[in-house]
Chain A
Amino acid sequence: MNLADSKKKLALAGLGCGLVAACLAFFGNPANMAFCIACFVRDMAGSLGMHQAAAVQYARPEIVGLVCGSFIIAAATKEYRSVAGSSPLIRFVLGMVIMIGSLVFLGCPLRMVIRMSAGDLNAWVALIGFILGVSTGAFALKKGFSLGRSHETNAASGVVLPAVMVGILLLAVCTTLLKFSESGPGSMHAPVLLSLGGGLIFGALAQKSRMCFAGSIRDVVLMKNFDLLTVIIGLFAVMLVYNVSQGKFVLGFDTPGVIAHSEFLWNILGMYAVGFAAVLAGGCPLRQLILAGQGSSDAAVTVLGLFFGAALCHNLGLAASGTALNTETKELVAGAVPMNGKVACVICIAVCFIIAFTNKRKAGK
């Protein structure tokens, strides 16, 4: 089935993904996080002991489902292609940048859209940064940026990440080896089977529709093509209906419980880094997981960069804190980006510029 041959089908794919996210939010995933790739990878890194932030440790079955859903549908429809060799270490660094930018903003592009649908004006502010970041990446593409072509490799190479994901899920379900949060966002989750099923469906739909938050804006900037944006609008529409119907739509800044902050500059710069790095890496965090599932070892290396970046964020105090109510004084405590996070964000943007304008295409013949 070709989900991408009409805008209607693309919108349907987006609606399907939105329904999955809404179901998972309804059944226990954290408010307005629902299906955040950066948050869930960060939780997974915590469950593996890569960082020690006790509130964000949980081996999220959604991530396993995304990678495996993409793998299964790609294999079933003969689209699985094991490829590798396109500047893997640069992709690793870009994965780190994407995660650091995401945790300065507090969410990946998918969560940004979910937060936008819940009326969080900070996410709308961050959208400005994301569009500017993607546009800067698109400008670099116009100037000849390239990480080089990938090549066909052993079929087994592309299976490694899906296999590792299944291994993590088995460890989480069958042993007590992995860490689990007892309070905080990491302790809030939908039942395991529902999360896994949701991830598998989301992964399959995203693989077929080529859903990508960075790619959707890149296509508008470069070609005025709105196909991929249609998928995102579908997802946004479902989450908007869900939030309004559940009384979770609160228009404003400084909304406690949303896990967000109101430092406008850093919301913009965090998502600027994410948008810029995502275009250079060839896709947003969600797209990297999907590409890894359909056989790209280059995308799998970017995913490893996301894990490493998440560990750095919590081990070195780079991640922002969300606005919250002090349970004792009942006062609103404003969320903020720590100085380490601000410095890291600026370095990340500088790294993106260096990568963008030092890796140039070479003529083929």
Chain B
Amino acid sequence: MMRKKELKLVLTFHTTADAMAMEKACKEQNAPGRLIPVPRAISAGCGLAWCAGLDTRHILKQLMDRVGIEEQDMHECMI
């Protein structure tokens, strides 16, 4: 069955390794979200992004500051 698309927070990174580090940090600290391919509407590149609920922006930002991950951009898009 097709999953209904929802408006989500999508964090993009400068490198794939940053996205992988984000996944590791979120798993270790039980932070919400999952790894997805960067949505085509955002970029022509083929890297990875972190997708989570819109209400997690501050939690994720704090976590990234703590573990030293710099996002490239934060988007809101239908996933």
Chain A residues at the B interface, C-beta cutoff of 8 Å = 2-5, 74, 79, 81, 141-142, 144-149, 207, 210, 212, 215, 219, 222-223, 225, 227-228, 282-283, 287, 291, 294, 360-361, 363-365
- Interface range on chain B (Cβ under 8 Å from partner): 20 to 34
Most buried by A among B17, B40, B44: B44
- List the B residue with the shortest CB-CB distance to A4: B40
- Identify B37's interface contact among A228, A291, A364, CB under 8 A: A228
Cβ of A158 to closest chain B Cβ, rounded Å: 12
- A363 and B20 within 8 A (CB): no
CA distance A79 to B68 in the complex (A): 29
- A219 and B41 within 8 A (CB): no
- List the B residue with the shortest CB-CB distance to A77: B44
- Identify B15's interface contact among A74, A148, A291, A294, CB under 8 A: A148
B63 contacts A by Cβ under 8 Å: no
- A210 and B16 within 8 A (CB): no
CA distance A74 to B48 in the complex (A): 20
- A144 and B70 within 8 A (CB): no
CA distance A215 to B14 in the complex (A): 17
For the A-B complex, the count of residue pairs with Cβ-Cβ distances under 8 Å equals 71
- Identify A223's interface contact among B18, B36, B39, CB under 8 A: B36
- A144 and B36 within 8 A (CB): no
Most buried by B among A3, A148, A222: A222
B67 contacts A by Cβ under 8 Å: yes
Query: Would you give 14 A-B contacts (Cβ < 8 Å), ordered by A?
Result: A2-B41, A74-B44, A141-B16, A142-B20, A142-B24, A146-B16, A148-B15, A149-B14, A210-B46, A223-B34, A223-B48, A361-B21, A363-B69, A364-B68
- B44 and A364 within 8 A (CB): no
Given contacts A283-B46, A364-B70, 17 further A-B contacts (CB under 8 A): A2-B41, A4-B40, A5-B41, A79-B44, A141-B20, A144-B20, A145-B17, A146-B15, A146-B16, A223-B37, A228-B37, A294-B44, A361-B17, A361-B18, A364-B14, A364-B18, A364-B68
- Identify B68's interface contact among A148, A225, A363, CB under 8 A: A363
- List the B residue with the shortest CB-CB distance to A74: B44
CA distance A207 to B44 in the complex (A): 7
0/1 string, B1-43, CB within 8 A of A gives 1: 0000000000000111110110010000000001111011100
Given A145-B17, A361-B18, CB of A5 within 8 Å of CB of B70: no
